[in-house]
Structures are given as structure tokens and as C-alpha cells.
Amino acid sequence: MTQLENEILAIKIEVVSMWTLVESQLQKARAAMMHFDRDLAREVVLKEKRVNAFELKLDRDCENIFALYCPVAVDLRFLLAVLKINTNLERIGDIAEGIAKYVIESIGDFDQSIFKKTQLITMFDDSISILADTRIAFEKEDTILARSIFKRDEALDKINGDAIDRVSECIKDDMSVMKDALYVLSIIRKLERVGDQAKNMAEEIIFYVEAKVLKHQKDTAKS
């Protein structure tokens, strides 16, 4: 392997490590919410610093490769994709931290019936699964798996679209759950953005593997 190939491989390993950490953050945020575990929620908030450190290091490492090797073709596309994926992962880390903070700030355990009525747990599990599969698509350069993320994101959008009506019904049935219901609505909004970030990363995987920029195709078709 050439030195550039070694550097590219090191970057890929770094991205996967960051991705795994972000997945863990989201899983722990879910567990903290389900079991009202403030200690676990505080751990998520504390580890967000590690996610931020990953982002900064990956940015620096990519910049160094640009400066030293002037990469072209697939190597260039890979690095450009990594820079965007890096930002998406950091934002998902922020989302996990935000959910953990809701647990810390809440007075008591969440009303579990709201989770069921709003399909929050289904949405949480789907978000974690989508994030994991997007990572696998990145590791294996699997554009078929990457494309499957687009359809799966629509399911998250559907739950998000129904959320206001479902939350309103919960509050109408029992006014005492209003605060919990509003927290749940905020968490649903955050999880919908996890799907958006995963979709963005899937586009970047396809871009560097197939040299296609899918997000501009719709604009071209419209024009």
C-alpha cells in the first residue's frame, strides 16, 4: 500500500470509531429515557466532548492529507464525503446529548403510555437501526444498503408528521401528562433529524463510491 492509501485507511477506521461512539450515545440516551436513569443521561452528556474531539481530529487529519498528497478521483471524493459525514455524526451526537438533558431536567419518570401512543420507542429503535446500517454501508461501500436508508427515513417522517395529533390526544385525555407529552414531542422532532442526517450520510457514501451527487438531481429535474 502507498502512504496515501495507508492514510485513507486510517481515516476510515477513525470515522467508524466515531460512528460507533455516536451509535452508543443514542442507545444510552434511549435507555436513560426508558428507565429514567439520570446517571446514564449524565454519561451521555459527558461523552459528547469525545464526539466533538473526534470531529476536530478528523477535520485536521483530512486537511493534512489534502495538503500533503493533493488526492484526486475516488480518494478526493472519499475525503470530501468524510468531511460531511463527520459533521452529520457530530450533529447526531448533539441530538443524543439533547435527549439525555431532557431526562436530567425532568422532575420524574416519563409517563410510559405516551411512548406507546406516539410510537416513540419504535422511532427510537428505527433511528438507531438506520444509523447502524448507514455505518455498515460506509464500511462495505455498499450503495444498495445506502439507498435503502432513503425509504426507511420516510417511516420516521411519518411518525413525526403524526406526532402533534397524538400528543394532543394524550394531553386531552389527561392534562397532568402535559409536560411529559411536550418532552416526548421534542424527542420525536430530534429523532426525525437523526433520519435526515443518516440520509445525508447515505448520499455521501453513494457520491464517493459512484461519483454521483444525488441531492442535486431533483433540482436538475425541476429546472
Please give the average pLDDT of every successive group of 10 residues along the chain, which has 223 residues. 94 98 98 96 97 97 95 94 98 98 89 92 97 98 97 96 94 90 95 97 95 60 50
Locate cell 468531511: which residue? 83
**CB crowding 200-219: b at 16 or more within 10 Å, else e:** bbbbbbbbbbeeeebeeeee
Name which of 116, 115, 151 is nearest 130 in CA terms.
Answer: 151
- Report which DSSP code applies to 108: S
pLDDT at position 110 is: 86
Helix ranges (H only) for 106-142 are 112-118, 120-140
Q: Whole-angstrom Cα distance, residue 33 to residue 108?
A: 11
pLDDT at position 223 is: 47
Answering whether pTM is above 0.85, one says yes
Q: Whole-angstrom Cα distance, residue 68 to residue 83?
A: 17
Count of Cβ atoms closer than 10 Å to residue 152 Cβ:
18
pLDDT at position 112 is: 87
- Report which DSSP code applies to 216: G
Question: What does 148-194 look like in DSSP terms, one character per residue?
Answer: HHHHHHHHHHHHHHHHHHHHHHHHHH-GGGHHHHHHHHHHHHHHHHH
Radius of gyration of the chain (CA): 19
Architecture in CATH for domain 3-213? Up-down Bundle (1.20)
Structural domain boundaries in the chain: 3-213
pLDDT at position 1 is: 81
